[in-house]
Amino acid sequence: MRDNGIEPNIIEYLKNVPSESDFRGLSEKLRKGPAEFVRKGEADFKANGITDILNDDEKMFNIMNQFPKIMERPIVVKGNKAIIGRPPENVLELI
Sketch the domain layout of the chain as residue ranges. 2-94
Distances (CA, A) of 35 to 23, 90, 91: 11, 19, 21
Please tell me the pTM assigned to this model: 0.88
Mean pLDDT of 20-24: 96
Give the type of residue at 37: F
Q: Please give the average per-residue pLDDT across 66-82, as a whole number.
A: 93
pLDDT at 54 over 90: yes
| In the predicted structure, residue 72 carries a pLDDT above the cut 80 | yes
The H-or-E segment that residue 77 falls in is strand 75-78
Residue 24 pLDDT > 80, yes or no? yes
Is the pLDDT score of 5 beyond 90?
Answer: no
Query: Is 3.40.50.300 the CATH number for 2-94?
Result: no
Determine whether 23 is exposed, middle or buried from the number of CB atoms within 10 Å of its CB (0-12, 13-18, 19+).
buried
